[in-house]
Amino acid sequence: MVETYMPDSARTYRYHIVTFGCQMNKNDSERIASILGGMGLEPTNDPKEADVALINSCSVRQSAEDRVYGLGANWVGLKAAKPELIVCLTGCMPGRDKDGRMRSRLPGVDLYFPTKDMVYLPQRLAEINPNLRPMVDLASDYLSLRPTYQKTCQAYVTIQTGCNHFCTYCVVPFARGLEANRSLRDILDEVRALSAGGCLEVTLLGQIVNHYRAPDPEHFSRLNPYAKNDFAKLLWEINEIPGIARVHWTAPHPLYMDAEVIDALTLPKQVNYLHLPVQSGSNEILERMNRRHTREFYLEVVKKIRSKRPDIALGTDIIVGFSGETEEQFAATVALYKECDFDISYHAQYSPRTGTVAHNIFQDTVPRDEKRRRWWVLQNLLESTVRRKNQAFVGKAVEVLAESSENGWVSGNSREMKRVHFPGGPELAGTLQRVSVERAEEWILWGKPV
């Protein structure tokens, strides 16, 4: 529990956080904001006003790391005008920096620590600036810290961190460690508190979210209809919490989309969208990636999902240009994309990551220009597919969770995670609206309230 503490000085101390990467990093930054807020610091959008400037880093690709290096150098430059500025860097880069090479490129960073060590942040800040001395008693497990949520109507809820799979291209097991599942009781308590505060949509986060195993299964209700899969049980429990209108989760693994999890897609509060990473449509590449599933297995899972929920929108992740990928193997990915008819794809050009198996034993044989070409093949396919699929919403009404309003237009997502714009004012933010779709573009549906 964090107790608020105001420094002896009358001066207001401020913090500034920049987050790179996935939703889990964003949720981690919300926890850090709670820690700093508990120390009496106030947020600022201007790093020049900050006394503590913190980067939450991503290490999934080299481009992400390069952005961190650039921003870190800029912030260190701010110290010339404000020597007391404390620059911090956390997240995936420190988590996987076993030999200190990354740290050596950031000589002006004062605090450099992996995510799990955020619980020591107050102590370390106080050692640098005694005016920031906190009166806090933090638990050793950072996941037990309650985040400072960015929105009232929506929230990320981390249920698991780390991973045991060791896909050969992936840094997560090195950056976040092995899989650790959060207490079921803590998760349900957090969701109930969110509901009491007016939250309508929760997104459950985990590296392999559908591999969640409750360390305290005695807290499952006896009325729970699922018998085997703890993740399916968790989805049912959250569906039973009054006030929560939507449940979303990311990112599952095809291996753990068993009958109970697929059935849980039909629970009434489940959004009509599932993000199911495939990474490649070639069995040879999937084996080299250590994905542990085949093309045929993935397609069978998609078939089972659509038999349960025929109109569900499907998204995926794909890596193009992985080590040794031939044109024929890439063509298999394109064919799988067409067969699955994905609503959205987040595709990336393969970027070797130091310390991973792929970096150590495979050669990065696909030229950069060819990776870019293959990326554009998928991008063009994506855009044409999205355009076609969005046209099907014209003339229909969709439920939209209104998130923001600007210049007389409200923006939010449908249950299919389609972006919808409709006329309205800021008073609609944080409400559910029925919207009749009148026009569809590639990335936006335009309509009016019913």
Alpha-helix runs per DSSP H in 39-82: 62-78
Spell out the residues 6+ positions from residue 59 whose beta carbon is closer than 8 angstroms to its own: 21, 65, 91, 92, 93, 95, 96, 171, 175, 353
pLDDT on residue 6: 44
Listed range (45-49, 94-98, 186-190, 308-312) with the worst mean pLDDT: 94-98
Backbone torsions φ then ψ of 53, nearest 5 degrees: -115, 125
Mean pLDDT of 122-150: 85
Tell me what pLDDT residue 5 has. Answer: 41
- Using the Cα atoms of residue 404, residue 410, residue 414 and residue 417 in order, give the sign of their dihedral: negative
Average pLDDT over residues 156-163: 96
Q: What is the pLDDT of residues 92-121, one digit of tens each?
A: 999 999 889 999 999 889 999 999 999 999
Distance, in Å, from the CA atom of 414 to the CA atom of 399, rounded to the nearest integer, reads 5
> How confident is the model over 247-271, as a mean pLDDT?
98
Reported as a single tens digit per residue, the pLDDT across 329-357 is: 999 999 999 999 999 999 999 999 989 99
The upper half-sphere exposure of residue 416, i.e. CA atoms within 13 Å in the direction of its Cβ, equals 22
The pLDDT value recorded for residue 76 is 87
Pairing verdict, β 154-158 and 160-161: unpaired
Q: Residue type for 119, please?
A: V
**What pLDDT score was predicted for residue 136?**
58
**Consecutive H or E run containing 29:** helix 23-38
The pLDDT assigned to 141 comes to 85
What confidence score (pLDDT) does residue 317 get? 98
pLDDT (mean) for 167-181: 94
Model pLDDT for residues 360-390, shown as the tens digit of each residue: 999 999 999 999 999 999 999 999 999 999 9
Look at residue 32 and tell me whether its pLDDT is greater than 90: yes
DSSP 270: B
Residue 1 scores a pLDDT above 70 = no
Q: Is the pLDDT assigned to residue 448 strictly greater than 70?
A: yes
HSE at residue 371, side-chain half, CA atoms within 13 A, is 18
9 pLDDT more than 70: no
**For residues 195-212, average pLDDT:** 97
Give the Cα separation of 351 and 374 in Å (integer).
Answer: 14
**138: confidence class by pLDDT, cuts 50, 70, 90:** confident
Give me the mean pLDDT over the 55-76 stretch: 92
CB 398 within 8 A of CB 416: yes
Asked whether residue 269 carries a pLDDT value surpassing 50, the answer given is yes
Mean pLDDT of 283-288: 98
Stretch 408-434: mean pLDDT? 97
Q: What is the CA radius of gyration of the chain?
A: 23
Residue 289 has what pLDDT? 98
**Number of helices and strands (H, E) in the chain?**
14, 18
Which domains occur in the chain, in start order?
A: 14-142 (3.40.50.12160), 149-391 (3.80.30.20), 397-449 (2.40.50.140)
Would the pLDDT of 170 be above 90? yes
